[in-house]
Amino acid sequence: MEKLDLIAGATIALDKPLTWSSFSLINKFRYEACRFLGIRKLKVGHAGTLDPLATGVMILCTGKHTKQIPQLQEGRKEYIANIRLGQTTPTYDMESEPDAFFPTDHITRELVLERLQGFVGTIEQVPPAFSAVKVDGKRAYDLARKGRDFELKAKTLVIDEIELLDYTLPDIQIRVVCSKGTYIRALARDIGLALGSGGHLTALRRTRVGEFTLADCYRVEDIQSFLHQHVAPLDTTNE
């Protein structure tokens, strides 16, 4: 098997751990790769971030493969999402404490199945206030943390599939296949509203980006062994 040339360009899938930022994962890989190759700099980019409380597939591109990032970002994404109904949080996930509570007694499995199908197809979604969306040149999460009032415009996106995997009130688990730009946190919010209640994420795992699945991913603890097994060392014979 031909070894990868990270400087010329390679595409690698990693499984982002819980609480890690996307940039922390990139920095970890870059550090280990530079150390392995004995260089100071390596161009590394990614094809779509994940929130710190989300785990799963992140595609990293090095060298000239970074030019493929826009194309890779267009790939369909699949997620497994755990949603708690009956309450909301400002961030739509577990990063913040619940700020409101709602009834769930009226919610049935049949109602959940019916409402979920209403999200399949082309929909309009308002991004979370705590997101990287820019408002007048500033990140929305910066404005939200400062308590500023602002309005985010709805974005058009496509939900290909939604499947109910588990129904154990007040929690449900769903599988979502969607286009780029979809905020699963916002989807949890909207599902809660559609059920006449509230909702926020309790766990999120990205299981696929385009053709890359979790089966293709390396874990953080495997990065060093991956480099030694699959990456070509620098040729220093001519130095």
- The contacts of residue 238 (CB under 8 Å, 6+ apart) are none
Catalytic residue among 51, 160, 190, 222: 51
Q: Dmax over Cα atoms in the chain, in whole Å? A: 74
Cα 120 from Cα 176, distance rounded (Å): 9
Active site residue 235: no
**CA pseudo-torsion sign 205, 61, 76, 209:** negative
How many C-beta atoms surround the C-beta of residue 19 within 10 A? Answer: 10
Count Cα neighbours of 80 within 13 Å in the Cβ-side half-sphere.
10
Q: Rounded distance, CA 116 to CA 14, Å?
A: 30
Tokens describing residue 238? 């001519």
Question: How do beta strands 199-209 and 54-63 pair?
Answer: parallel
Nearest-5° angle of CA 104, CA 117, CA 48? Answer: 95
Catalytic residues: 51
